[in-house]
A and B are shown apart, each in its own frame.
Chain A
Amino acid sequence: MPDAVSPNQGTTKPFPPTPKPFTPEDETALREALKRCSPSAFEAAVQFRKTGNPEHVPAVVIGVIERFVEPDLRMKLKDADDDLRLIEDLGIDSLTMMEIVILVEDVLQMTINNDELRNLRTVGDVKTFIDCKIRGLTLPKPTKFIPIEHIGSVMPVQPPFLFLNEASVSSTAANGKYKISGQEFFLQGHFKDNPVMPASIMLEAMGQLAVLYLLEGAPTEPGKVVSPQTIFFTGCEGVRAHRICKPGDILSLSIKPKRMKMPLATFEGAIRVGQEKAVIVEEITLTFGLVDAVDAPVPINGTAAQSAVAAPVTVAPPLRVAINA
């Protein structure tokens, strides 16, 4: 039947959409939909609907999330840290997540599928995800939680010089933890009868987290992966130590990519102990090289293999977006 047309074809919308004319009726509907959100969220939504400019999207998304968060937790959103977790930090359950999704869909005139939702764990994930959808970019890889065994198997650095107990990696950041056990060999001499974690080792630990990011999170060219044998330290700037760290302290490490251009990758990083700032590094730069995916060591699980093949084509925009967001 050559005339047969799938009933869905007629309704498939081009994406990203060219902004449709924004009528007064649309504005009324938008005002009603966002009536419990901040005026700035409404204003951003109006601007987005009029211009299609994705710059307005983060304000809308934050405004919508804020509206569904219990009032006593809303303060957390004010300092809008992208690592803020939806479930653990904001108390958002899966039902509330659906409320957020449907309001965002309605307001931004977009469609979000069920399988796309599963990987959204942080405020940053949501912002990046929606930004990519609006710009028509391939979605970045979701945040992966990497246990110690897996860290050991992929990292070129090994004990006793590995300073990561656990880590999570997304395409926009990596976070890790390391507990100073007191058994580290160098603490015998640093210092005499007074074990203190060397600042240089803490810088090393952030560098190791950046290495893990390059291996597990960084978007690469199709068919290529970062080779563990090619990653080396090249330099760092703006290192400041704020707190003496001793055995028993749990270091919370975080790094974010600032620039990536073969063969250099530059990150900013921080270490905290609880809420206290321990070390800040403004820039830490590594050099790296790519190899063909087939020549790479066999990944430990199937999902890693799949994501390596399906890695996003465009590298820069999602990263820049994430950092700006």
Chain B
Amino acid sequence: MPRVFITGLGFITSIGNDAATVTRNLRELRHGFEVYPPFQQPEIPVKVIGTIKGFTTDSPDPEDWTFPAAYKIKRELLRTMAPNGLFAHCAMLQAVADAKLTEPDLSNPLTGLYAASAGSPYLLHYHNNRLNKVGVMRCSPLGIVASIAGTLNFNLIAAFKIQGASCGFSSACASSAHALGYALDDLKLGRQKRMFVVGAEDGNVDAILPFAGMRTLSLQTDPNLASRPFDAARDGFVGTGGGVALVLETEDEVVRRGVTPYAEVLGWGQASDGWNVAISHPEGNGSAAAMTNALRASGVAPENVDYVNAHATSTLIGDISEARALRAVFKDAATRPAVSSTKALTGHGLSLAGAMESAFCALALREGFMPGNAHLTKIDPECGGLNILRATENTPPDLVIKNSSGFGGANVALVFKRVA
């Protein structure tokens, strides 16, 4: 089976809109949180999100949006986008340029695209309201493709003239990790030679606030304290949006095009908790099984793993489950791999998280560092027995695991390797 490499990245995230800025913020543990103006009402106790800088997408009309002038997007494309579509489109443009892909490289039967977003609750809500207000036959003809789950893949496939495999993935916060795993399979099986993997989320009121009902959102008003994965004082996750794109290519293509990859994607694994619709398994059974499957598929022994980019979102139950899963997988060597959750810096990107944090792993592997777990004052004793990084280590990791978990108890683990 062909080896598969990551050859291009694009970022629109709360900690930066290009690879250089993101790398610096990961190294220096600078977060992307701000007090979010739409939340500043007495009846909304949630105050902070990971904001996307340089973009305004708070109108339901894409022609009202503003975004950096470097991105030229025609109305014909913009009109069917949700905010997450805009973020992802910009990230795709970056990734295409970063991987030095030409137009024929994009549009051919062996180049595909897998994407994940939750759709746009904001636009769905808006268009359905409008339908009720102005009548069935006068609702926007573009409302559906701009808002339903799948809007991200619809738009990107059309805009980038993708001719190969295409699909949207929907496993909540594991979605874009699933997308990356299945993209890897398609490349390993020889079905495709190049795959784009894209995750994106609106990260606005309608995308984030519904999680308040579950009491999973942090109510911290101080952006510096809001997201604290594995910390004893954590009180929930901080939401964020954005878009991240990765380019995966087979070895043949990497050689043919003469590009330098970020990292090799060795393998992946998944497993489900079989437990609860929204609560993670208390022992982290599914997450542990996903990691074990991923390591076996990659031919890697647990003791060889250097760094784990944890799913840990800063929720009370979830972080403990994952800590238990890590101890179960790494056993006596549990303190061997460094562990951190970069959600302490970005916030939780939901469907975006898996792709965003995989791209962070790719940066860490190429640049030779392991980002610390920011905002950690006192490690929750329940999360003990692990080597959770308090600061960034400038030691180059060789083998990295990325964990992702989603509603329903879906768990994905991805294994990346440094390119020697």
Contacts and interface: CB of A to CB of B under 8 A. Distances in A.
A106 B137 CA distance: 11
- Which of B134, B140, B141, B142 counts the most A-chain CB atoms under 10 A from its CB? B141
Nearest to A97: B141
A105 interface: yes
Contact of A102 (B63, B74, B141): B141
Contacts of B140: 99, 102
Interface of A: 36, 70, 95-96, 98-99, 102, 105-106, 111
Contacts of B256: none
Contact of A70 (B74, B139, B141): B74
B76 interface: yes
A66 to B, nearest CB: 13
Contacts of A95: 141-142
B148 to A, nearest CB: 16
Given A36-B63, A70-B76, A106 B134 contact: yes
Given A36-B63, A95-B142, A99-B142, A111 B75 contact: no
A70 B77 CA distance: 12
B142 A111 contact: no
9 contacts: A95-B141, A98-B141, A99-B79, A99-B140, A99-B142, A102-B140, A105-B137, A105-B138, A111-B137
Nearest to A93: B76
Contacts of B134: 106
Contacts of A105: 137-138
B75 A70 contact: yes
Contacts of B75: 70
Given A36-B63, A105-B137, 5 more contacts: A70-B76, A99-B140, A102-B138, A105-B138, A111-B137
A106 B138 contact: yes
Interface residues of B, number: 12
Nearest to B145: A95
A8 to B, nearest CB: 12
A153 B138 CA distance: 44
Contacts of B74: 70
Contacts of B141: 95, 98-99, 102
Contacts of A102: 138-141
A111 B136 CA distance: 11
A191 B381 CA distance: 106
Contacts of B76: 70, 96
A33 B24 CA distance: 44
Interface in B124-172: 134, 137-142
A111 to B, nearest CB: 7
Nearest to A102: B138
A95 to B, nearest CB: 6
Nearest 5 interchain pairs by C-beta: A98-B141, A102-B138, A105-B138, A99-B141, A95-B141
A95 B154 CA distance: 15
Nearest to A69: B75
Nearest to A112: B137
A98 B142 CA distance: 9
A105 B140 CA distance: 12
A187 B134 CA distance: 64
A162 B331 CA distance: 93
A98 B79 CA distance: 13
A145 B17 CA distance: 53
Contacts of A98: 141
Contacts of A111: 137
Nearest to B80: A95
A95 B141 CA distance: 7
Nearest to A96: B76
Nearest to A113: B137
A299 B76 CA distance: 43
Contacts of B79: 99
B73 to A, nearest CB: 13
Contacts of B63: 36
A70 B142 CA distance: 17
Nearest to A68: B75
A96 B79 CA distance: 10
Contacts of A96: 76
B214 to A, nearest CB: 36
A105 B79 CA distance: 19
A102 B140 CA distance: 7
Nearest to B137: A111
A259 to B, nearest CB: 39
A71 to B, nearest CB: 9
A70 B137 CA distance: 25
B260 to A, nearest CB: 39
A98 B75 CA distance: 15
Nearest to A11: B135
A215 to B, nearest CB: 37
A95 B144 CA distance: 12
Nearest to A29: B134
A96 B74 CA distance: 13
